[in-house]
Amino acid sequence: MERVITEEVAENMVVKEMVKAIAKGRGQDIREFQEQSRIATGNSVPLLRMDFINTELKKALSSPTVSVEIFKRRNWQGILVVDRRNKWTFTISSQARLREIIKKSTGKGIHYLVALLSCENMKEKAPNQQITMEEFGIQVPVDEVQKVMMRDVISNTYAQITKDIQDDLQEYTHFVITYVGDGDIITKCKLLYFDEDCVLIDTIPLDKYLEPDYMSLTDSSLTLPKEVEVMSEKHVEEIDKLVQPKVGLSMKRNQNNENVIDKTSNIVVSKK
């Protein structure tokens, strides 16, 4: 597959609309909800933010070539934006949440983003990816049972996410749009491009698509609590400064061009 040019993706209208949906869902929609519901406290706001963002995405991205697909994960629902014209898929995450996903991307409970990257970006490889011992011709003992279990977990997770989507998304490339929020204001937004091992290949800032939220500047009567799972901006490290958190298992290709699990690989996000 020809390598995707990240700048081209960042300039696409789908990405622009997604950034606007994030800003409106977390900003204006939340403020209107609090004003109209007249709730005394804002304890539910952190949980509602993503629902409002997803609702804005559904309204903005409905066309024959672009759709917002809803999938179920246990008692929770997520969204996957599918751009059929360019064969791209997108998910959204706060920057702090994404850091936690990368750190906890091994084990029995595979996060859906890890499954998407493993299955859709398997042909991509970060240029500064760590070289494994196998690439030097040195065989490292691997627990075959654990390999099969991890491969099955990733495959089953991906199948569950995409079961209601008719397209063969393994021919697509996945991107993540991440954001940093301060109350009801989006302060940063980025497009992230990972390889199959959750290693960052490229990142493009999307701040230019963030329009001034004049309502938040003029309405001083509405104050929202900080998002529970998102630290304040000054405490959030840049996603591309993450170092390897732990040794884990990752999807690889063997000589027969089949997916296997490489126990020696570290799931890392490395600086370009």
Contact (Cβ atoms closer than 8 angstroms) between residue 17 and residue 206: no
Least confident range of 98-107, 135-144, 251-260, 262-271: 262-271
Name the residue among 82, 80, 49, 79 with its Cα closest to residue 65: 82
Rounded to whole angstroms, the Cα distance separating 73 from 76 reads 5
Least confident of 11-25, 54-68, 102-116, 239-253: 239-253
Q: What is the 3 state secondary structure string of 185-214?
A: EEEEEEEEEECCCCCEEEEEECHHHCCCCH
Residue 115: how many other CB atoms lie within 10 Å: 23
Tokens of 42: 């804002």
Tell me the pTM: 0.71
Q: How would residue 142 be classed by pLDDT, with cut points 50, 70 and 90?
A: very low
**What letter represents residue 95's amino acid?**
Q
Closest CA to 81 of 26, 125, 17, 157: 17
In single-letter form, the type of residue at position 132 comes to: T
Q: How many other C-beta atoms lie within 10 A of the C-beta of residue 145?
A: 8
Contact indicator for 106, 246 with CB cutoff of 8 Å: yes
Q: Domain locations in the chain?
A: 6-262
Q: Can you give the length of the chain in residues?
A: 272
